[in-house]
Amino acid sequence: MRQELQSGRRTILLVLGIVVLCLVFIKYVFMPQYHRQCENNDRIADLRSKYRAAVAAAESLQRETELAGKVTDQLNEYKVLFNNVMDDGMAFVYIALKAMEAQVEIVSVVPAAVHDKGTYLEYPVKFEVRGGYHEVCSFIREIESFPNLTEIRMFKITGYDNNMIRLPDAAQKKQKAMGEELLKIPPAKYGEVMATLDIVTYSCPSPVAGMHMEQITNWAVGRDNAFLMSAIRNKN
């Protein structure tokens, strides 16, 4: 009987010892490792989230860089159109050559003030052109195909009346003051038309560009219409 009790006690003590060892193992070994593993999993999940965000940002940056490159290329193409050099009078020379090629006469040129639009400058000039209908249309197409940015905002073609065109009063006063004979616009041929064009040239909004565009009014070198003398000479 006593041996059986001692055997039972040893079994109970052994079970209790195993339980205690298990509790100690769980508390001091397993639980710290479990908490550390949970922290590592959270850290890994956070790193993966940051990695995905970084990859997305890198891909977005690459797309934005490519898009910026394309926009820059387009901007460089358009900037050339705004690089109008207006201080040497070559624009008027080009227009005069095109008028001669089209066999039309530019009988009136009225420059207006430069309009500062903030991101660009506008310089409007009003032309009155005389000639045959087809020749005038050909000249208008040449103006529209200028290499620099030029816009025809309005044009009107009417039958020509010899009494509808006269030199501006300012030009008459200037020529009278200089003792010169007043220029006369030669009479029109049968079937000629008069075209009125409102042309706008664009330029960069820099002070130099604005000064260059304002110098257009001085190209006439004493005449209000730089084309009129040549037109009269060609007409005669």
Q: What is the pTM of this model?
A: 0.48
Q: What is the CATH number of the domain that holds 109?
A: 3.30.70.60
Examine the domain organization and report whether 49 and 111 are in the same domain: no
Query: pLDDT 10s per residue in the chain (236 long)?
Result: 556 556 667 777 788 888 888 888 888 877 888 888 888 888 998 999 988 888 888 888 888 888 888 888 887 776 665 555 554 556 667 777 888 888 888 887 777 777 777 777 777 888 888 888 888 888 888 887 776 657 788 888 887 665 545 555 555 555 555 554 544 555 555 568 888 888 887 777 766 655 655 565 555 444 455 555 444 444 44
Examine the domain organization and report whether 197 and 140 are in the same domain: yes
Examine the domain organization and report whether 207 and 142 are in the same domain: yes
Examine the domain organization and report whether 125 and 218 are in the same domain: yes
Token pair listed for 118: 């903030």
Q: Into how many domains does the chain fold? A: 2
Say how far apart CA 44 and CA 40 lie, in whole Å. 6
CA distances from 211 to 85, 121, 217 (A): 11, 11, 11
Q: Are the beta carbons of 136 and 157 closer than 8 angstroms?
A: yes
What is the span of the domain harbouring residue 24?
1-82
